[in-house]
Amino acid sequence: MGLLSWIIVGAIAGWLATLIAGGGFGLIGNIFLGIIGAVVGSWLIGSILNLPYDVTGFNLTSILVATGGAVVILFVVNLIKR
């Protein structure tokens, strides 16, 4: 997956995660949130749930996995802030 794909998937996933879990960090922050969410989501899907889904490019599965990981990150951040 190329750098541009990571940025686009990260931006979409970060934006969707802020809609679901609340919060928000602006465009650049949401891109980083989505990229880190993609890594966390891939790890959760592969290691814990043992499913074959991964972030492989600009497709719906990758966006959903990255969004799920970003929601988990926002949930943990919101717990720490309280």
Once rounded to an integer, what is the mean pLDDT over residues 21-37? 87
Domain ranges, ordered by start, for the chain: 3-81
Once rounded to an integer, what is the mean pLDDT over residues 65-69? 92
Burial 10-34, CB ≥16 within 10 A → b, else e? bbbbbbbbbeebebeeeeeebbbbb
| 3 state SS of 36 | helix
73 has a pLDDT exceeding 90: yes
Once rounded to an integer, what is the mean pLDDT over residues 7-23? 90
Distance CA 7, CA 46 (A): 22
Instruction: Look at residue 27 in the predicted model and tell me its pLDDT.
Output: 87
Residue 13 pLDDT class (50, 70, 90 cuts): very high
Q: Which string of DSSP letters, residue by residue, matches 13-26?
A: HHHHHHHHH----H
| Nearest Cα residue to 7 out of 80, 63, 69, 76 | 63
Instruction: Look at residue 75 in the predicted model and tell me its pLDDT.
Output: 92
